Amino acid sequence: MTYKKGDKIGKYIITRDFDNTNGGQGQWGFAEYNGKQYFIKKFLNPVYPEVKAPGSKKRKQKKKSKCQEFERKHLGMMQALKSCGDGGLVVKTTDFFKYGNEFGSHYFKVSQKVDTSNLSNEIYNLDWKNRLFIMLTSAGALKILHNNGIIHLDLKPDNILIQEWKEKLIAKIIDFDSSIIKGYSTPLEELVGDPLYFSPEFGKHINTHGAELPPTQKSDVFSLGLVFCQYWTGRLPSFSDKHNYPYEALLNKEKLELPRIFLSSTEEEKLIEKKIFELIEKMLILDPHIRISINEVHENLKAICSGKSIKFYPKIYLSEETKKSSKGSRINANLKTTNLEKSKVKGNYSKSGRIKFNFRKKS
């Protein structure tokens, strides 16, 4: 059944016809309750067998067990999201329930409705200050999730809504259907996402049917690095036509080439662009142990936004843990060359302090 405007689902009155655009294994629309507007999603599967559901008792019990596990996961994530506070950068689930008839019930998830900007798909066309702030708030949202033990696992532009707020554009992370809790074992069949934004370790875990270690919070950092590349340039990194996805190219020892763009002739903007590409490169490192954390990403973006890193030191902030993990690695030389004395900078990158990239000019 597809719900239409005016229909009622439990206590919610539908205000927009249900649609399956970008809905994955579900349909969605908007609803109203008690004067407030909500986003509501209907899951197509699993369907809870009610008293008149067809099938044997054994088969119905198997379906019920599957539904109970589905409930456990979503209610657990809903509870975990409550710990993320009320800052607004994480769009939390406010209700989760099943609704149907005597034959079967579907599950529904409800969250705050976000009025998105019509510029959501044109971020790369914005001025650099707007792009930077969107990246900063995106990183801030993911930092909140990671600090509360949540791994999103499906970060992509569709799951980062852009909203106008106090004459600024901010990012809000949504859709936790594929998310997991750090430290908890998750069956392979429940780990889903968009392979275009898979981290290398996530791709290996899926492709080896769970033989490789499962993804971690660093997997989200890789996905966000790809999103940041799109935010800044309008494109994903380029790689050989032999591969379909960025993670495949890296696993096959290829390099991801970041599209080079040009902001303007001012020295400030040139420096900012260099810092952004340097940061994205650190987010897209193959080895998750060396890849920087979201806390480091956020700290660097704050420094770039404030102008502090531009004026005083041309280096990417790294935690002691990341520096220790990087020791002896192929990027260790790059990490060392960024630790220049402030007195040698003079407002620009020194030749020895630059980290080299494989840039491709934007055509």
CATH code for the part of the protein at 123-361: 1.10.510.10
Mean pLDDT across the chain: 84
Could you give the CA distance from residue 141 to residue 295 in angstroms, rounded to a whole number? 11
Torsions phi, psi of 47, nearest 5?
Answer: -110, 125
Which residues, at least 6 apart from 309, have a Cβ–Cβ distance to it below 8 Å? 275, 300, 303, 315, 317
Domain with CATH 1.10.510.10 in the chain: 123-361
What's the 3-state SS for 146-189?
HHCCEECCCCCHHHEEEEEECCEEEEEECCCCCCEECCCCCCHH
- Give CA–CA dist 191/205, Å, rounded: 10
Residue ranges of the chain assigned to CATH 3.30.200.20: 8-112
317 band by pLDDT with thresholds 50, 70 and 90 = low
Whether the full predicted model's pTM is greater than 0.75, yes or no, is: yes
Residue-wise burial string across 79-98, b where 16 or more C-beta atoms lie within 10 A, e elsewhere: ebbeebeeeebbbbbbebeb
Average pLDDT value for residue range 233-249: 95
Give the lowest-confidence range in 103-107, 262-266, 356-360: 356-360
Read off the pLDDT band of 357 (50, 70, 90).
Answer: very low
Write down the pLDDT at residue 323. Answer: 67
Q: Look at residue 83 and tell me whether its pLDDT is greater than 60.
A: yes
Give me the CATH topology for the region 8-112. Phosphorylase Kinase; domain 1 (3.30.200)
Q: What is the mean pLDDT of residues 306-332?
A: 56
Structure tokens at 327: 């020791």
- The confidence score (pLDDT) of residue 326 equals 59
Compute the distance between CA of residue 107 and CA of residue 98 in angstroms, rounded to an integer.
Answer: 4
| pLDDT beyond 60 at 340 | no
Is the confidence at residue 319, as pLDDT, over 70?
Answer: no
Over residues 321-338, mean pLDDT:
49
DSSP-derived pairing of the beta strands 360-361 and 259-260: parallel
Mean pLDDT on 308-336: 52
Which pLDDT score, from 0 to 100, does residue 269 have? 83
- Model confidence at 299: pLDDT above 90: yes
